[in-house]
């Protein structure tokens, strides 16, 4: 864990100029201020920035970029620090850039069905604001209560509704971005159709702060679905649950949500949420469908039949919206609730094609057994996006080595099944060593060329996405 580097990166002159831009109250280089922005939600990563800065508008962000580019000071844009790939951990120091002053919803355009927001807006606040107008912003990452839109865009966050509605990328129409040299560009916009030039919007979404700083976003909204139903299907056989997922999709039903939780996950989630989740079954599917009433009812019935045919021991509809919401909230808490088991919780994000979900679940269990580890699995089964999670203790070096090797095998298996190393959390530092497994050397070279063109001095969130060497994660180095 590289917490304190030897050489401070911000010369006095640069500091003076940065303070001129944002004011002394928005520039913090005290040890305390730096320490609390030295981490995000990723276990085992921590590194101090040299300063923390909180600009008030795009102009100030542009000025900051110019100064940092001149002095080669790294910039790490940060929302609420809820990401799980160490994407906002300032591994090479520099400044952490906050958006707490840039957190307004600028416009909800009911004619064009768009919302224009600043990056610091909390996802749930936006969802609530548009819902008041009968509109719907579908991306709902597990941390939506606190994560910001800027962070969601940078990490291209997914969520529980990804199966039917897609991820953040599918709702970003246009961006205002400050480039590394301080230039401000606009990409896309409110247009439904726009094929003028390269699709830079898509390039910046999910670029993890390595290509520029998002300072404004225009997002696509859709009409609020008329109705919604939620049900739980219980299984005594893990793979039967996984098979149900593939069967549902194969039967041409796309539910809004199709989530998977195994028994250990159920236990901790129930321990936290206390909503009466069954803890005596091996796996649970949380299934939701929304849309016109008749369609929802038809789909729910079909899915219930499929689950029963696949040996579900029970299939129950939520009786009320409160009950349904409690189930969703409980599911969102799964990761953090797993932290109850052991001091350190290593969560992964392996994703496979939906048809391979049963094979992947089986493989994870075999790998856990091989390395004598407890690995709990939950995730967005409908997307093929699983979160095998290992409760462990960072102080136990020997076990950490085994965790390391087990996850390596899990990634290899995911890729073998036609999957990927991360479905929604991003590469960050966490997955950087494995990116080449997925992309190949030519793929990495193409991405590096883009990075080099937009950020030649490598000041934008350096140390992320591209690993210094393939393989060998940072988890066990301390």
The CA distance from 147 to 156, in Å, is 12
We find the least distance from the C-beta atom of residue 105 to another protein, in angstroms, to be 16
| CA R_g for the chain | 22
Which of 34/464 has CB closer to another protein? 34
Tell me the window of 8-16, 138-146, 248-256, 299-307 that interacts with another protein (CB under 8 A): 138-146
Among 30, 227, 316, 470, binds another protein (CB under 8 A): 30
Among 69, 82, 201, 246, binds another protein (CB under 8 A): 82
For residue 72, state whether it binds another protein (rule: CB under 8 A): no
Pick out residues in 147-166 that bind another protein (CB under 8 A).
147
Which of 35/203 has CB closer to another protein? 35
For residue 449, state whether it binds another protein (rule: CB under 8 A): no
In angstroms, the Cα distances linking 101 to 89, 138, 153 are 20, 25, 18
For residue 118, state whether it binds another protein (rule: CB under 8 A): no
Among 345, 377, 420, 461, binds another protein (CB under 8 A): 345
The CA distance from 398 to 9, in Å, is 36
How far apart, in Å, do the first and last CA atoms of the chain sit?
Answer: 4
For residue 35, state whether it binds another protein (rule: CB under 8 A): yes
Tell me the window of 25-33, 232-240, 279-287, 412-420 that interacts with another protein (CB under 8 A): 25-33
Residue-wise over 148-181: b if at least 16 C-beta within 10 A, else e?
Answer: bbbbbbbbbbbbbbbbbbebbbebbbbbbbbbbb
Which of 1/309 has CB closer to another protein? 1
Other Cβ atoms within 10 Å of 7 Cβ, number: 6
We find the least distance from the C-beta atom of residue 313 to another protein, in angstroms, to be 27
The CA distance from 399 to 422, in Å, is 23
For residue 38, state whether it binds another protein (rule: CB under 8 A): yes
The CA distance from 318 to 316, in Å, is 6
For residue 340, state whether it binds another protein (rule: CB under 8 A): yes
Pick out residues in 182-211 that bind another protein (CB under 8 A).
none
In angstroms, the Cα distances linking 293 to 136, 296, 311 are 17, 5, 27
For residue 477, state whether it binds another protein (rule: CB under 8 A): no
For residue 411, state whether it binds another protein (rule: CB under 8 A): no
Tell me the window of 26-34, 163-171, 235-243, 366-374 that interacts with another protein (CB under 8 A): 26-34
* Tokens linked to 279: 């803890």
Site of tokens 């590394």: 180
The pairing of beta strand 95-98 with beta strand 51-53? parallel
For residue 105, state whether it binds another protein (rule: CB under 8 A): no
For residue 101, state whether it binds another protein (rule: CB under 8 A): yes
For residue 476, state whether it binds another protein (rule: CB under 8 A): no
- Longest CA–CA separation in the chain, Å: 70
Q: How many residues bind another protein (CB under 8 A)?
A: 41
Tell me the window of 36-44, 192-200, 212-220, 434-442 that interacts with another protein (CB under 8 A): 36-44
SS (H, E, C) 182-207: CCEEEEECCCCCCCCCCCHHHHHCCC
For residue 4, state whether it binds another protein (rule: CB under 8 A): yes
Tell me the window of 9-17, 97-105, 205-213, 401-409 that interacts with another protein (CB under 8 A): 97-105
For residue 390, state whether it binds another protein (rule: CB under 8 A): no
Among 394, 406, 429, 435, binds another protein (CB under 8 A): 394
Which of 35/179 has CB closer to another protein? 35
The CA distance from 262 to 439, in Å, is 31
Please list, in sequence order, all residues whose beta carbon lies within 8 angstroms of the beta carbon of residue 211, skipping any fewer than 6 positions away.
Answer: 177, 179, 180, 203, 204, 450, 451, 454, 455, 460
Which of 37/165 has CB closer to another protein? 37
Which of 69/118 has CB closer to another protein? 118
For residue 275, state whether it binds another protein (rule: CB under 8 A): no
Please list, in sequence order, all residues whose beta carbon lies within 8 angstroms of the beta carbon of residue 53, skipping any fewer than 6 positions away.
Answer: 18, 22, 26, 27, 28, 64, 95, 96, 97, 98
Tell me the CB-side half-sphere exposure of residue 44, using CA atoms within 13 A: 22
Which of 283/335 has CB closer to another protein? 335
We find the least distance from the C-beta atom of residue 160 to another protein, in angstroms, to be 16
Q: Which of 154, 65, 52, 121 has the alpha carbon at shortest distance from 93?
A: 52
3-state SS, residue 301 = helix
The CA distance from 94 to 72, in Å, is 9
Among 11, 13, 36, 59, binds another protein (CB under 8 A): 36
Please list, in sequence order, all residues whose beta carbon lies within 8 angstroms of the beta carbon of residue 281, skipping any fewer than 6 positions away.
Answer: 234, 235, 236, 263, 266, 313
Residues of the shown chain interacting with another protein in the complex, contacts defined by CB under 8 A = 3-4, 30-33, 35-43, 80-82, 98, 100-101, 103, 122, 143, 145-147, 271-272, 333-337, 339-340, 343-345, 393-394
């Amino acid at each position: 864990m590289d917490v304190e580097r030897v050489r401070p990166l911000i010369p006095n002159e640069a500091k003076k100029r940065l303070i001129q831009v944002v004011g002394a109250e928005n520039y913090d280089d005290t040890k305390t201020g730096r320490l609390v922005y030295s981490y995000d939600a990723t276990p085992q990563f921590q590194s101090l920035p040299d300063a923390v800065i909180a600009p008030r508008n795009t102009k100030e962000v542009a000025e900051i970029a110019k100064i940092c580019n001149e002095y080669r000071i790294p910039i790490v844009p940060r929302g609420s620090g809820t990401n799980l790939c160490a994407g906002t951990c300032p591994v090479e120091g520099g400044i952490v850039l906050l958006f707490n002053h840039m957190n307004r919803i600028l416009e909800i355009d009911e004619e064009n069905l768009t919302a224009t927001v600043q990056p610091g807006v909390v996802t749930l606040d936006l969802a609530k604001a548009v819902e008041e107008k009968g509109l719907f912003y579908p991306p709902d990452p597990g941390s939506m209560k606190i994560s910001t839109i800027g962070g969601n865009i940078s990490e291209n966050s997914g969520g529980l509704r990804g199966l039917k509605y897609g991820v953040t990328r599918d709702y970003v129409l246009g961006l205002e971005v400050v480039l590394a040299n301080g230039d401000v560009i606009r990409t896309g916009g409110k247009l439904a159709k726009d094929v003028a030039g390269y699709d830079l919007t898509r390039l910046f979404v999910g670029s993890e702060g390595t290509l520029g700083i998002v300072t404004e976003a225009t997002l696509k909204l859709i009409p609020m679905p008329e109705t919604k139903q939620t049900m739980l299907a219980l299984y005594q056989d893990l793979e039967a649950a996984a098979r149900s997922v593939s069967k549902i999709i194969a039967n041409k039903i796309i539910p809004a949500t199709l989530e998977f939780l195994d028994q250990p996950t159920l236990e901790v989630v129930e321990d936290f949420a206390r909503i009466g989740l069954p803890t005596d079954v091996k796996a649970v599917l949380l299934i939701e469908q929304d849309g016109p009433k008749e369609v929802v009812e038809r789909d729910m019935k079909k899915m219930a039949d499929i689950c029963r045919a696949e040996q579900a021991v029970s299939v129950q509809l939520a009786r009320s919206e409160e009950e349904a919401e409690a189930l969703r909230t409980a599911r969102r808490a799964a990761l953090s609730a797993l932290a109850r088991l052991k001091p350190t919780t290593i969560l992964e994000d392996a994703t496979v094609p939906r048809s391979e979900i049963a094979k992947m679940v089986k493989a994870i269990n075999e790998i856990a057994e091989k390395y004598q580890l407890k690995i709990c699995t939950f995730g967005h089964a409908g997307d093929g996006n699983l979160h095998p999670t290992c409760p462990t203790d960072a102080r136990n070096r020997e076990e950490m080595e085994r965790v390391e090797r087990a996850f390596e095998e899990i990634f290899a298996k995911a890729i073998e099944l036609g999957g990927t190393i991360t479905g929604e959390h991003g590469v960050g530092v966490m997955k950087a060593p494995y990116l080449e497994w997925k992309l190949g050397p030519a793929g990495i070279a193409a991405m590096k060329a883009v990075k080099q063109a937009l950020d030649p001095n490598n000041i934008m969130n350096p140390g992320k996405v591209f690993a210094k060497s393939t393989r060998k994660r940072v988890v066990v180095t301390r």
